[in-house]
């Protein structure tokens, strides 16, 4: 399934090898006589024979062209979904990959068995995958408090040039990697259980570092610290508290058994 933003103030839909197609418009506004939302249906509401049909739209190929300012809410069952050049997307997919790009005002995406990728997008971004990986590239906030959140049970989380000031990533058994600038006054939290946590950041980053890591599994030899303290939590886990530069941002890392690595961004 593909959803594309275009300059026209209209919705166009195409289905190949699947359900019928119909539209249901919301009641027009009294102020201007225009409808505020349109639901795309898997049947024609004008056809009396289809009056008891379900709303589900299905087919070998589905494509929607919508205004670039559109805000989309979508639920999928088993589909590969690509969305490009719209204002905002809220999407849930039971099985299949989700690919999003050029989303201007926010993303909420969940897939239970599939990967999620987000590129060149802004606003609040919330990504969840149970069994798949998450990839994000070149994202930024609209407002100061806009957060970026990524969670995966068994898939990797790769974040490149994520320019939000509030960033959180959680995984249980796979890699979490953040590569990019640390924002001034940023708040970063990366939590893993057995997979690696890798931060590739500039050598002159300014942050307070608070890490919980397995003994002998914390590495940050590329960096110079103003202060660096290690304390024992138990026989297998240690706590690291350190300051880099002026300590402007806050970075919290937690990994009970996997490696925590800070490496210099080239």
Two tokens at 162?
A: 């994520």
What does the alpha-carbon distance between residue 76 and residue 65 come to, in Å, rounded to a whole number?
17
* Full strand arrangement of the beta sheet holding 218-219: 12-16, 61-67, 2-6, 81-86, 98-103, 116-122, 134-140, 157-162, 176-179, 197-201, 260-264, 218-219
Please tell me the predicted confidence (pLDDT) of residue 27: 76
Please tell me the predicted confidence (pLDDT) of residue 237: 95
Please tell me the predicted confidence (pLDDT) of residue 2: 95
Two tokens at 153?
A: 């049970």
What does the alpha-carbon distance between residue 94 and residue 88 come to, in Å, rounded to a whole number?
20
Please tell me the predicted confidence (pLDDT) of residue 18: 79
Rounded (5°) CA angle 157-162-167? 70
- Is residue 198 a part of any domain in this protein? yes
SS (H, E, C) 105-142: CCEEEEECCCCEEEEEEECCEEEEECCCCEEEEEEECC
The boundaries of the domain holding residue 217 are 186-266
- Is residue 22 a part of any domain in this protein? no
Q: Are 125 and 139 in contact (CB under 8 A)?
A: yes
* Buried residues in 235-259 as b, exposed as e (16+ CB within 10 A): eebbebebebbeeebebebbbeebb
- Is residue 220 a part of any domain in this protein? yes
DSSP secondary structure letter of residue 49: G
Q: Which residue has the higher pLDDT, 38 or 182?
A: 182
- Is residue 25 a part of any domain in this protein? no
Half-sphere exposure of 59 (CA within 13 A, CB side): 19
Q: How many domains does the chain have?
A: 1
Tens digits of per-residue pLDDT, 45-83?
777 565 555 668 888 999 999 999 999 999 988 899 999
Give the global pTM. Answer: 0.92
- Is residue 80 a part of any domain in this protein? no
The strand pairing partners of 231, in sequence order, are 239
Two tokens at 149?
A: 């959140």
Q: Is the pLDDT of residue 156 over 90?
A: yes
Tens digits of per-residue pLDDT, 186-228?
999 999 999 999 999 999 999 999 999 999 999 999 999 999 9
DSSP secondary structure letter of residue 259: -
- Is residue 52 a part of any domain in this protein? no
Please tell me the predicted confidence (pLDDT) of residue 171: 95
What does the alpha-carbon distance between residue 164 and residue 161 come to, in Å, rounded to a whole number?
9
- Is residue 16 a part of any domain in this protein? no
The proportion of the chain whose per-residue pLDDT surpasses 70, expressed as a percent, equals: 94
Phi-psi region of 106 (alpha: psi -120 to 50; beta: other; left: phi over 0): left
Please tell me the predicted confidence (pLDDT) of residue 123: 98
Burial of 54 (0-12, 13-18, 19+ CB in 10 A): exposed
- Is residue 195 a part of any domain in this protein? yes
């Amino acid at each position: 399934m593909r959803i594309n933003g275009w300059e026209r103030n209209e919705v166009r839909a195409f289905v190949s090898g699947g359900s019928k197609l119909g539209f249901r418009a919301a009641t027009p506004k009294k102020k201007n006589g225009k409808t505020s939302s349109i639901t795309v249906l898997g049947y024609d509401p004008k056809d009396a024979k289809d009056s008891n049909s379900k709303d589900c739209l299905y087919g070998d190929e589905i494509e929607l062209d919508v205004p670039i300012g559109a805000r989309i809410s979508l639920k999928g069952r088993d589909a590969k979904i690509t969305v490009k050049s719209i204002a905002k997307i809220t999407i849930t997919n039971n099985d299949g990959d989700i690919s999003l790009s050029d989303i201007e005002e926010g993303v909420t995406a969940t897939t239970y068995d599939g990967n999620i990728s987000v590129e060149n997008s802004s606003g609040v971004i919330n990504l969840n995958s149970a069994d798949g990986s998450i990839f994000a590239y070149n994202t930024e906030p609209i407002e100061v408090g806009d957060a970026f959140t990524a969670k995966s049970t068994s898939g990797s989380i790769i974040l490149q040039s994520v320019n939000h000031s509030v960033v959180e990533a959680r995984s249980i058994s796979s890699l979490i990697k953040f590569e990019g600038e640390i924002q001034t006054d940023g708040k970063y939290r990366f939590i893993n259980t057995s997979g690696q946590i890798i931060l590739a950041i500039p050598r002159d980053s300014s942050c307070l570092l608070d890490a919980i890591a397995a003994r002998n599994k914390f590495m940050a030899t590329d960096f110079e610290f103003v202060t660096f303290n290690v304390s024992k939590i138990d026989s297998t886990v240690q706590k690291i508290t350190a300051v880099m530069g002026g300590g402007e941002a806050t970075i919290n890392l937690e990994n009970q058994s996997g490696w925590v690595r800070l490496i210099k961004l080239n």
